[in-house]
Structures are given as structure tokens and as C-alpha cells.
Amino acid sequence: MSQSLSHHRLLLAFLSVLLLTASAVTDSTLTQRRAIGGDQRLASPGGAFLLGLFSVANNTKWFLGIWFTASPDAVVWVANRDRPLDTSSSGVVTLSSRGDLVLLDVASNNETIWWSNSSAAVVAQLRDDGNLVLADAAGVVVWQSFDHPTNTFLSGLWAGQDLRTGAVWSASSWRGADDPSTGDFRYVMDTRGSPELHVWRKGRKTYRTGPWNGVRFSGCPGMTTFEDLVEFQFTHTADEVSYVYRDRVGSPVSRMVLTESGEVQRMVWNPATLAWSVFWSVPRDQCDVYGACGPFGVCNAVGAVVCGCIRGFLPRSPAEWRMRNSSGGCARSTPLQCGDDGFYVLRGVKLPETHNSSVDAGASLAECGRRCLSNCYCTAYAASDIRGGGTGCIQWFGELMDTRLGDDGQDLFVKLAMSELGLGTTKTNKLVMVVAAVITTFALLLLSLGLLIWRKIRQRNKQITEFDHIVRGECPAYHLETFKAATDGFCAKNEIGCGGFGTVYKGQMVDGQEVAVKKLSAGNRVQGLKEFRNEVNLIAKLQHRNLVRLLGYCIHQSERILVYEYMSNKSLDTFIFDPRRHATLS
């Protein structure tokens, strides 16, 4: 006992001398002959990150962590998150003779507050990617902070699982904004079926990304909008399942954070404002809440009624659904016949949860369908990779959970009884179909002219209805009177252009903004409708500083009107191709 106490006193004296004689650490390495504590810091080679002690809760709790030098509040890793120090002066960080990185409390007889649980390390280095690395004498990495994320994923930090060792790379939220202790939420890779990322709260799943489809996670269409900023990499081998992103060269620094409320946010550093901007976050809406519509339900965030049943299914409890409680899901209207079934294509969806599925990346989509049709327990199938028209095979066995409609979704082939698809083959059905065909043909012969007119009117109204549904929500709608007032009743003196699709007028809104109002030609309805669809669907979604911005639209009976920003200097081609004016360009 006395020998152990003497050893601790000797170590305490040694560390105290080091702290008293060493200046603030500015290099990136720590060896067994150096310790840091108090306000001393370890800096990465390029100065992007710092490692040291930081405080929360009015300096009553101190932690060893890593943070952005330019943004000290952006702490990306915490060592002793569940065991804080009471004061900064008592904390000492050093490499032990065994090769551990340790945080000691010198005020408590050198009590070990945290250690890396490594061995043979002779140097610790904080790298410019924010990774704290311990290496042995041969330079081999024996421990790194990237293997032990807290609530933040940095560029190059992976999420997933080592299938050989069972090591899991996952994130856990802070308890609160000023409390880095382990919170309620975890962000972890589920490797069952087709791997996907899940958010859990106290053993209950709250959100999932959908499986990786070769380009992105099925339920994260927004990922592809960041391809100019970051590069995504997904690895699925016999040894490892992992997902990592990397900031592209020249792009701003980004990080992904699991917040204390369970959101996953992609944050990008703006060096001009010296602040972080949230570029993307999930869950996005109530359809991202796990299992919102129950088994065999499908969620539509833009619908008046969010939850519905897949074709061939009905609510298990109609009374609960009327009360907008859809968690019980749906049940089949007609049992599968096992041999006399077919598939209904549910288009544009986030694929259902895959833990009850099988995956064969080498099978074709056609082969996948044949396999599912021949297996009585298969309930649906889809391509595992959407590239090249769809390859690979995912088959579901059992309930389809957490399916949602969404932008840029993919096709899900749901197995139904033939009678649900209108493809029954009994003799009675055939006789009914023949009689119905004869009656229909006779009626068409008598009413051909009236029916033709009715169908044309119906088709036109259907196009308009579909059309209005497409454009609604992309940009604001205006009343016709607004544009009449802005253009003096579409006065000829305000006309600034005329083409095959309509006339453009200069106008001024009530707030003084100058606009260009394009009134589509009523004499060219087919081309005008196509033009209207293209401009509203594409230009309203396409935002770029070099493209004129679509401000709104108007639909009034047969009138179709678009309103754009007014460009007083006209378009760029008037300068490029004008021999006199192109000289004004640099």
C-alpha cells in the first residue's frame, strides 16, 4: 500500500513539474514525456481543431474534448462525457507508460477519470480531420477517436459495423445543449437485410433512412443535392458495413450532428458569416416518423389525409383510422393464392424496413420478380440498386412497415391476389367480361359522337387537375386580377416580347416590384400546356443566380399565366452576340 502511494505521489510530482514548466502546447502531438492540463491545448497541424478541457454549466463541469478552432462551441468529440471534472486545474492529460491516453484528476490522488483502453502507444496526434490518433513506435495506429464517435460525424468519420470484431461505429446525442453526457438518442447502422441507418430513443425506433440504393439512402432524396459539396461512400462486404462522407476539395467544412431532440442535421460552415448553416435535417415531416401508418400503410405528407393503405389492403380498424390513428396499419382484402398471384407497382416510395428481407445484389430485377412469385411467403420485391434501370434484388417476407411516398422514390412491387388486380380467370368472370364488352360496343356505336365529346372534355379537365396538383406548392399562385392590375389590363404599350407560346408584358406589383408577365397563347393549347408544365415543374425547382427566377403563376379558366423576375438588361445573349455590346463584358 505504501509503495503504491509513493508511486502515485511521484507521478503527481512529475506531472506538476511538467505543467509548471511547459508553455501552452501549440503542436499536434503528445508523448509520454509531456502532459497538458488547465488551459493548455493540443492543436492539429493546420490549426483546424483543438483538443483540451472545456467547461459547461457555469464552469462547474469540465470535459476533455475536440472542437473547431474557428467555432469553439462546435465540440465534435468528448472523452469523459459521463464523468466530468469539477475544475479545470485538476485535470491532466498524458500518455501512460502502458500506452494509454489518460485523463487524471490530480486533486483526487491522480484518479483516472477516462482512458483510451489501448496499449503500446508512444505518441498521440490530433490530425487536421479532427481525428485523435494513438500510434506505437512503428507508427501503427492502435486507437483513434473516429472509432468512438459521440454526437458528431466529421468528413471521413464512418458509421457502421465491423462484422469481424463486432465493433459498432454509432453516434449518441448529448443530454442537452450544455450537457455532453450521453443522451436518449442513438444513430446506428442496422445490418439486418439491406443495411440502413436508424435513430433510436430508449429502445424505440424513431426514424430510419431506408436502405442504400446505389446512389443514396432510399428515404433521403435530399442527399443528392449535396453531391457538389460532399462525396458519399457506402461499403457492404463480408467484413464491414459502413457509410462515410467526405468534403470535396474546395468545399466548405461540414459536419453531421445528432441533436438532443433526435434530429440528424447536416451543418455547413460559412466563413463569411463565421456561423453554421443547417443545409438538411431529418425527420422532415410526420411521414418520417417511424411506422406512422403501420404495417402495409403508406404515408403521403402532401395529402389531405396523410395515411392510406396500399392497394389490395384495408384499415385494420376503420374506427381508429377515422380518428386519425393509423398506427394499427392495414390488412389484406383478399388472401394470396400462392400460385395465382401478381404484382401491383407502388411507384415513387421510400422502401419499407428491410430487417425481414433477403438481398441478392447479383440477381436481375426480372429474376427477383420470378423468385418472389414462386415463394408463397414473399410479399414484395424491389431493385437493390437503382442505377442502370434497376438491378439486384430485395425480397420482403412479412409485413411492409414504414413505407412513404416521396420525391425521387423508387418502385416497390407488392404481391396481390389476381382478383385484386382485376385479372381473375374463372369462367364466370370471362362470361361477364364478354357480355360487358358486347354491351359497351353497342352503346359506343349509338353514342359515339356524344361520348367522344365527353371524353375530350374529361381528358382536358383531368390534365388541368393533374396539372394544378403538380404546380401547387412549388411556387405561389396569384389571382388574374393581380396581373391585370400590374400590366394595365395587359396593355399593348407594356408588351416586351411575343413568341409561339404567348406574349410577355412588363408589369409592376403592388409592392413596387417589377415583373415580366407571360400570358400563354390560348390558340395553341397543346403546346401551351406542355410549355406551362415544363416551366413550372422545372424552373420553379431550379434555383441559380444565372437563371431568371419564376415568381408565381395563375390559372383562371382557360388562362395560363407565368410571372418572372424582370431583367432590365435583358438576357446574356444580347450582350454576347451583339458586336457593340459584348465589349462591355470582361
CATH number at residue 481: 3.30.200.20
> Tell me, what's the pLDDT at 153?
98
Q: Is 403 within the bounds of a domain?
A: yes
Place of cell 492540463: 37
DSSP code at position 248: P
**Among 148, 166, 197, where does a domain finish?**
148
Asked if 46 and 88 sit in the same domain, the reply is yes
* Burial grade of 326 (CB within 10 A; 0-12, 13-18, 19 or more): buried
Q: Is 340 within the bounds of a domain?
A: yes
Asked if 406 and 450 sit in the same domain, the reply is no
Q: How far, in Å, CA of 245 to CA of 230, rounded?
A: 6
Q: Is 304 within the bounds of a domain?
A: yes
- Residue 47 sits in a domain whose CATH number is 2.90.10.10
User: What range does the domain containing 164 cover?
Assistant: 150-284
- HEC assignment per residue over 71-128: EEEEEEEECCCCCCECCCCCEEEEECCCCCEEEEEHHHCCEEEEECCCCCCCEEEECC
Please state whether the predicted TM-score (pTM) of the whole model is above 0.75. no
Half-sphere exposure of 129 (CA within 13 A, CB side): 16
Q: Is 42 within the bounds of a domain?
A: yes
Residue of 478, 475, 466, 453 whose CA lies nearest to 530 = 466
Q: Is 329 within the bounds of a domain?
A: yes
Asked if 432 and 411 sit in the same domain, the reply is no
Nine-digit cell string for 528:
401551351
H/E run at residue 52: strand 49-56
Q: Is 579 within the bounds of a domain?
A: no
Asked if 218 and 346 sit in the same domain, the reply is no
Q: Is residue 519 annotated as involved in ligand binding? A: yes
Asked if 123 and 70 sit in the same domain, the reply is yes
Place of cell 412513404: 404
Residue type for position 136: D
Nine-digit cell string for 73:
462551441
Is 567 within 8 Å of 489 (Cβ atoms)?
no
> Tell me, what's the pLDDT at 17?
35
Q: How is 193-211 classified by DSSP, letter by letter?
A: SS-EEEEEETTEEEEE---
Nine-digit cell string for 78:
468528448
Q: How far, in Å, CA of 395 to CA of 369, rounded?
A: 9
Asked if 100 and 166 sit in the same domain, the reply is no
| Residue 273 backbone dihedrals phi, psi, to 5 degrees | -100, -5
Q: Is 144 within the bounds of a domain?
A: yes
Residue of 332, 270, 248 whose CA lies nearest to 297 = 332
Asked if 395 and 459 sit in the same domain, the reply is no
Asked if 8 and 115 sit in the same domain, the reply is yes
H/E run at residue 533: helix 525-534
Asked if 155 and 243 sit in the same domain, the reply is yes
> Tell me, what's the pLDDT at 406?
83
Is 221 within 8 Å of 408 (Cβ atoms)?
yes
Is 298 within 8 Å of 349 (Cβ atoms)?
yes
Q: How many domains does the chain have?
A: 5
> Tell me, what's the pLDDT at 34?
87
Count CB-CB contacts under 10 A for residue 89. 15
Cα 274 to chain centroid distance, Å, stands at: 25
**Among 133, 148, 163, where does a domain finish?**
148
Is 346 within 8 Å of 414 (Cβ atoms)?
yes
- Residue 207 sits in a domain whose CATH number is 2.90.10
Collect all residues with Cβ–Cβ distance below 8 Å to 294 and sequence separation of at least 6: 307, 316, 326, 327, 328, 329, 330, 401
| Residue 208 backbone dihedrals phi, psi, to 5 degrees | -145, 150
Angle, alpha carbons 257-27-9 (nearest 5°): 95
Half-sphere exposure of 95 (CA within 13 A, CB side): 21
Asked if 134 and 15 sit in the same domain, the reply is yes
> Tell me, what's the pLDDT at 22?
39
Torsion angle of the four alpha carbons 337, 343, 346, 348, in this order, in degrees rounded to the nearest 10: 140
What ranges make up the beta strands (E) of 322-445?
330-332, 341-350, 357-360, 380-382, 393-396, 403-405, 410-417
Q: Which 3 state secondary structure label does DSSP give 495?
A: strand
H/E run at residue 514: strand 514-520
> Tell me, what's the pLDDT at 494?
87
Asked if 121 and 155 sit in the same domain, the reply is no
Q: Is 333 within the bounds of a domain?
A: yes
Per-block mean pLDDT, blocks of 10 residues, the chain (586 long): 35 38 64 90 96 89 96 97 90 93 92 93 96 96 97 97 95 95 97 94 96 93 86 95 96 96 96 94 93 96 90 96 93 92 95 94 96 96 94 96 90 95 54 53 67 64 52 71 90 84 88 89 58 71 76 83 85 76 75
Asked if 255 and 132 sit in the same domain, the reply is no
| Residue 456 backbone dihedrals phi, psi, to 5 degrees | -65, -45
